[in-house]
Amino acid sequence: MIEKVKLFFKTKEYRKILENIVSLTGLQFASYILPLLTLPYLTMVLGPDKFGLTQYAIALITYFQIITDYGFNLSATREAAIYREDEAKKSEIFSSVMSIKLLLCILTFIILMLIVVFIPKFNADLMVYILTFGMVIGYMLFPTWFFQAMEYMKYTSILNIIGKVIYTVAIFLFIHNQGDYLLVPIINSIGLIVVGIAGFYIAVRKFNIKLKIPSVKSIIYHLKEGWYVFISTVAINMYTTTNTFLLGLLTNNTLVGYYSIAEKIVLAANGLLNPISQALYPFVSRKTQDEEDEVNINFIRNLTKLMAIIGLILSAGIFIFAKPIILIIFGNAYANSVILLEILSALPFVVALSTVFGVQTMLTHNYKKAFSSITLLGGILNIVLAIILITFIQQLGVAISFVVTETFITVAMFIFLQTHGIKIISKNEKLN
């Protein structure tokens, strides 16, 4: 086994994968771990109510980010990875995708204004939501999908780490009491916009992109290509972001604060799994076209074992240390988050498997419609289950619903693959 690993990293192509894994690990550190450094400070200074409000605003704005992304993080990444040696095609893809993202960003801002002006619950904290929208602009500008397709993730990592470091320092410098809560969305938005502009500039200059107004035909093509992934992303957020949103609608900001603490810790753990998945996705997309099916299936089986082990270690660690993590870092004021973290601790293991089954296997083998259908069913299940459980057991219901939904999706994807000739578990599989 060790010899196989050594052989794997001898070639230039596989060394690039390793480099991207390292870069993406840095990106995940910036995205999840650095904000965790400010989390205890923010929860203490703002208190559960105002902290919960800032997190609720992010939950609402995340919907607009999803619309703006439109599934391009997978569909456009795959397309650009396939044509990355074709200069003209590369420029056409980049121009089309960024144009669509800009139009969607404008559309979502109009929707936000209608919401905050005409719905009393949001009107009361209008400025929080408007200022938080700057995060959507930043995400829209930064072409993470393109850097991933070109397998040059170091730019993404470096810029995001710089942005998160600035965010971390700014939080400690400018936020000193509960009245400073409006500065949280301002700092978030400015940091992401600056990083977004820098990322866009580097992408255009480094990869010799010739920006042009895309044709209607090209725009329609990319909208169609991203549709199923977009629906899948919407469905996924029906059991992630929507949980926080529903909890805020049906209860109050304080309970949102308790839940957000536990969820952020688990998402940070899940983020440690993303570098492997994201770095391998362009590679697997290309190899699926070039290699025999059995070669790819064996690769997926080995990847499943690796991700399962890592996920299990993360889940066990979070469950065992849930109480000291909450009480030592956040204090007794957030003791209600302990049981939430224990429930959610199952997610790293489940998500590790669903990522392999869904992204690395179903999407690369062009089962986009089935992928969308499964995640959509999961999203519907979660909303129904969450509403029922929140009514009876409040924030505990959201946590239970999240775990049940992720488990359902993972099992459904596994069954689909097993019944469509991609047998993750095979009687004929030889043990290494």
User: pLDDT tens-digit profile of 286-311?
Assistant: 666 555 555 577 778 888 888 899 99
Helical H segments across 362-394, by residue range: 368-393
CB 34 within 8 A of CB 164: yes
| Residue bearing tokens 């010799």 | 208
Once rounded to an integer, what is the mean pLDDT over residues 165-183? 90
Rounded Cα distance, 352 and 355, in Å: 5
Question: How far is residue 291's CA from residue 168's CA, in Å, rounded to a whole number?
Answer: 45
* Residue 117 near residue 129, CB atoms below 8 Å: no
How far does the chain reach from its first CA to its final CA, in angstroms? 7
Residues 6+ apart with CB under 8 A from 299: 284, 287
Split at pLDDT 50, 70, 90, the class of 152 is: confident
In degrees, rounded to 5, the angle at the alpha carbon of residue 332 between the alpha carbons of residues 331 and 338 is 90
Structure confidence by residue, pLDDT tens digits, 11-30:
555 555 555 555 555 555 65
Which of 209, 180, 165 lies closest to 38, judged by CA? 165
Residue 335 to residues 34, 102, 203, 256, 414, Cα–Cα distance (Å): 23, 42, 45, 14, 37
271 Cβ contact partners less than 8 Å away, ≥ 6 residues apart: 28, 31, 32, 33
Q: Please classify residue 83 by burial: count the beta carbons closer than 10 Å to its beta carbon, then call 0-12 exposed, 13-18 middle and 19+ buried.
A: middle
Could you count the other beta carbons within 10 Å of the beta carbon of residue 165?
A: 13
Average of pLDDT values for 89-115?
93
Query: What's the token pair of residue 430?
Result: 């030889």
Give me the pLDDT at residue 432, please.
44
Distance separating alpha carbons of residues 358 and 150, to the nearest angstrom: 22
**Look-up: residue for tokens 């994807």?**
413
> Within 175-212, where are the H helices?
183-206
**Torsion angle, alpha carbons of 257, 258, 263, 264, to 10:** 60
Burial string for 171-191 (b: 16+ CB within 10 Å, else e) reads beeebeeeeebebbbbbbbbb
- Residue 231 has a pLDDT of 77
Q: Is the pLDDT of residue 192 over 50?
A: yes
Do the Cβ atoms of 177 and 190 come closer than 8 Å? no
Domain boundaries, the chain: 25-235, 238-432
Q: What is the pLDDT of residue 272?
A: 75
Question: Per-residue b/e over 299-338, b at no fewer than 16 CB within 10 Å?
Answer: bbbebbeebeebbeebbeebeeebeebbeeebeeebebbb
Q: Do 330 and 254 contact (CB within 8 A), yes or no?
A: no
Long-range contacts formed by 324-332: CB under 8 A, 24+ apart: 325/265, 326/261, 326/262, 329/39, 329/40, 330/39, 330/40, 330/43, 330/44, 330/261, 331/40, 331/43, 331/44
Q: What is the pLDDT of residues 18-70, one digit of tens each?
A: 555 555 555 556 566 666 678 788 888 888 788 888 988 988 898 898 889 88
Q: Is the pTM of this model over 0.75?
A: no
pLDDT above 50 (res 8): no
SS3 at position 375 = helix
Q: Which residue has the tokens 């200069």?
A: 87
Residue with tokens 């992303």: 233
**Which tens digit of pLDDT belongs to each residue from 113-144?**
999 999 888 888 899 999 999 999 999 999 88
Degrees (nearest 5) of the Cα angle 245, 62, 73? 140
